[in-house]
Chains A and B, each alone.
Chain A
Amino acid sequence: MSVVEQAGAGVSAGRATPRGQAPLHGGFGRRLRRDLGAYAFLLPYLLAFVIFTVIPVVFGVYVSLHKWSEVSGDQGFVGLGNYTALLSGTGYYGSEFYQTMGNTLIFVAISVPFLWAIPTVLAYLVFQAPAKPLWRILFFYPAVFSASAFGTIWSYLLATNGGSVNTLFHVNIQWLTSLPYAWIAIDLATVWATMGFNFIIMYAGVTQVPRATIEAAQMDGAGSWARFRRIVLPQLRPVSIVVIVIATIASFNLFVQDLIMTGGGPGTSTETISMSIYQEAFTSFNAGTATAMAFLLAVVLAAIALVQYRFASRRS
């Protein structure tokens, strides 16, 4: 692999050098021009990166260390006060934080296993079936629905009176206003709409499993289930971890379909951490508490992603 070391249009052709060996013979001026030229390519992205990622993160940390209201602005430095109030679990914010975090964990626990297992089994089945493009479209097409669209759709399908599901099965379940059905309804809608994305990744994973290994197991008389469990599943480990990380992060961020389908109800039993952050920020105008909550959530999510990826790379 080579590099382009030519500094600009006015300079004649540069010389290709092996990657990693900085062309020092050019002197300082030449190196400077080389660097400035390269950073010109990076500049548009770096501007966006700094303005819309770095500044919000740094500014967010600053706000979270203050008592801050959208209405009256900065009302003084409180150190880690916002964080300790949340983590202590006492007082209004503390109990709300643990309650909505607990609700969110319930959803993660009931959604991630399905968002991994269903796509994995389907990927293995489709791999052996004819008409692969047909199955792929059938499982993946709900990706076109935004969360507000599929939340609205499932509110309609699961309506207690006249909802298609209750009509079809001749039952009278209050899907959206009673427990545990409210969670089942949100879970059902989410799995229906988003599992196709994971299916695509798992399917790509299944096609990478060496055919010879599967065939050898077949020769030895291993049944379809045994081949899946002993040969295919272990090989899918790295891809499974990617899917589980994606599903975990998405489930922790549960917001829109929940808002539309149950509004956090019945009571506050399906109110998630994202809803609570949204309310603190834009209804109660408690920016300091809201950003502290958001960063605690962000730290949890980043830690999960890092631990799972580290785990994956060590094993593979």
Chain B
Amino acid sequence: MSVTSRSTPARHGAGATGRRPGRRLRPGRIVLILVLAAVGAVMVFPALWVFTTAFAPSNEIATGALIPAELSLYNLQHLLATAGAQDPIIRWLINSIAVSGIAAIIVAIIDSLAAFALARLTFTGRTAAFYVITSSLVIPFPIATLLPLYLEFEKLGLLDTYGALILPYTANAFGIFLLYQFFKGIPAELQDAAVADGASRFRIWRAIFLPLSLPVTVTLGLITFMNVYNDFFWPLVATSSPDMRTITVGIEIVAVGQYSTNYTALMALTVLSVIPMLIAFIFAQRRLVEGISFAGFQG
């Protein structure tokens, strides 16, 4: 089944509940909303505290106030002004965005090409290739391959480079699986018509399958971006010089190092690190939800 046909009943069901007459005023409904609001408050308060700490005026934290009287950019400015060669925070942020962005684009393209071949072309060894690739889904990353990958990159002399930070993420079987399911659902007539017109296989992928799968492909790119951006274990071992670190590793370095007791600076850094993800999340929330739901059902 395709992503679109999966999500339609979900939306229909959601609408139907709201439109039912006489449900809104029942006391059970008020209890329900109160319970959800209580859980929602528990979810929101930690982030609220963090944001207010990060944007508190410098002297505010000493008073122990949970909500500061005024908001200030002092902590953020101070953090950036004092960043030295050992903690180039802006560089870490740029590294993270660049590495995740490039990995996401590579994954989206090569997974789309491979999924197209597996789902819509006939060739010798197709079934075998499909099973070998999807069975790699059960390999628990990163733990099983972390050290051998490190040794491999050491042999290639590629440790502490952007290549090391990006390339290992390009072997993404999840994306193949996701796009394979989607391509299976595209009507055969479209492909047949293009074949009859004499279109090459690359052209059929480029002009029909890629545009039709754009929402799923973008979702895959976003999920990849978020996974790579938030990864910690691999960038920790693959890099060693301050300039090559990513922001997640950077936070850990300063959290256990010079800022271990300076919580306002640490919270400012954490907030800074989350901004790119927050932007991605705001724009992609709906797509992400559909992608995760779909992936969950395919199991």
Contacts and interface: CB of A to CB of B under 8 A. Distances in A.
Contact of A9 (B49, B125, B200, B278): B200
B102 interface: no
For chain A, what secondary structure do more than half of its interface residues adopt (helix, strand, loop), or is it mixed? helix
Interface residues of A, number: 118
A211 B13 contact: yes
Nearest to A238: B299
B230 A6 contact: no
Interface stretch (B71-79, B83-91, B163-171): B163-171
A144 B14 contact: no
Interface string A10-37: 0011111101001100000001001101
B218 interface: no
Given A63-B148, A192-B46, A203-B293, A260 B255 contact: yes
Given A2-B191, A63-B151, A277-B143, A52 B232 contact: no
A211 B17 CA distance: 10
Given A148-B232, A305-B138, A42 B255 contact: no
A51 B164 CA distance: 12
A257 B169 CA distance: 22
B296 interface: yes
B118 A155 contact: no
A208 B17 contact: no
Contacts of B200: 6, 8-9
A211 B16 contact: yes
B147 A295 contact: no
Nearest to A136: B289
B25 interface: no
A58 to B, nearest CB: 8
Contacts of B160: none
A52 B149 contact: yes
Interface in B123-180: 123-126, 129, 133, 136, 138-140, 143-152, 154, 167-168, 170-171, 173, 176
B18 interface: yes
A45 B176 contact: yes
B181 interface: no
B228 to A, nearest CB: 10
A45 B149 contact: no
Interface residues of B, number: 111
B233 A57 contact: no
A77 interface: no
Contact of A204 (B147, B247, B293): B293
A297 B143 contact: yes
Contacts of A141: 43, 47, 281
Given A41-B116, A224-B28, A298 B136 contact: no
A45 B113 CA distance: 8
The residue among A14, A207, A253, A290 with the most chain B CB atoms within 10 A of its own CB is: A207
Given A16-B192, A70-B154, A157-B49, 7 more contacts: A2-B188, A4-B204, A56-B145, A128-B17, A142-B43, A149-B270, A287-B151
28 contacts: A6-B200, A19-B122, A34-B123, A35-B123, A37-B123, A38-B122, A46-B114, A48-B167, A56-B152, A129-B29, A130-B24, A130-B33, A136-B285, A142-B47, A152-B251, A152-B255, A152-B267, A153-B50, A153-B270, A157-B49, A192-B46, A201-B296, A205-B297, A207-B13, A239-B296, A255-B233, A260-B255, A305-B138
Interface of B: 6, 9-10, 13-14, 16-18, 24, 28-29, 32-33, 35-36, 39-40, 42-44, 46-47, 49-50, 53, 64, 66, 109-111, 113-114, 116-118, 120-126, 129, 133, 136, 138-140, 143-152, 154, 167-168, 170-171, 173, 176, 184, 188, 191-192, 195-198, 200-202, 204-205, 226, 229-233, 237, 247-249, 251-252, 255-256, 263, 266-267, 270, 273-274, 277-278, 280-281, 285, 288-289, 292-294, 296-297, 299
Pairs A-B, 9 closest by C-beta atoms: A204-B293, A201-B296, A38-B123, A146-B230, A41-B117, A60-B148, A45-B114, A298-B144, A56-B148
